[in-house]
């Protein structure tokens, strides 16, 4: 039993180390630009608590990103029109395959994407 318990502890410790390394890599995205699809939050999220602890505000220039640290400023450029908006990352998401950022409604309006719902974008770190 002693050897079995040591093996289980070693496996658990390895899982914790691997999980910690994966989370650390996500929290410290080092690329300066990303290309992909942007979407925007539904009105039903208005006032709900974001992952950063702030209440969500559709009129703020904010966004959700899967890995950039909270408080990071990014420039979102719509690739098909050149329209740009600067937003602050204060939430996690999007949780839809292929999307790289979820924008507040105000940011989506600035990119002219309300009617479409999504748009091809480039996200550039400003910090």
Whose CA is closest to 62, among 36, 80, 40? Answer: 40
Mean pLDDT of 4-25: 38
Residue 82 C-beta-side C-alpha neighbours within 13 Å: 0
CB 121 within 8 A of CB 39: no
Task: Give me the CATH number covering residue 85.
Answer: 2.40.40.10
Same domain? For 18 and 41 the reply is no
Give the total number of structural domains in the chain.
2
Q: Which of 28-37, 81-90, 102-111 has the lowest mean pLDDT?
A: 28-37
Q: What is the pLDDT of residue 119?
A: 98
Which of 119, 117, 94 minimizes the C-alpha distance to 36?
119
Averaged over 71-81, what is the pLDDT? Answer: 97
pLDDT at 2: 55
- Express as a percent the part of the chain with pLDDT over 70: 75
The domain in which residue 3 lies consists of: 1-30
């Amino acid at each position: 039993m002693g050897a079995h318990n040591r093996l289980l502890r070693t496996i658990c410790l390895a899982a914790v180390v691997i999980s910690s390394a994966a989370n650390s890599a996500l929290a410290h995205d080092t690329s300066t630009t990303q290309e992909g699809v942007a979407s925007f939050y539904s009105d039903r999220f208005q006032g709900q608590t974001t992952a950063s602890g702030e209440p969500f505000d559709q009129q703020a220039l904010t966004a959700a990103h899967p890995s950039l640290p909270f408080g990071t400023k990014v420039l979102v450029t719509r690739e098909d029109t050149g329209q740009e908006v600067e937003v602050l990352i204060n939430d996690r998401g999007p949780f839809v395959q292929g999307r790289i950022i979820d924008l507040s409604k105000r940011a989506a309006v600035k990119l002219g994407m309300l009617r479409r719902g999504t748009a091809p974008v480039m996200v550039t770190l400003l910090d």
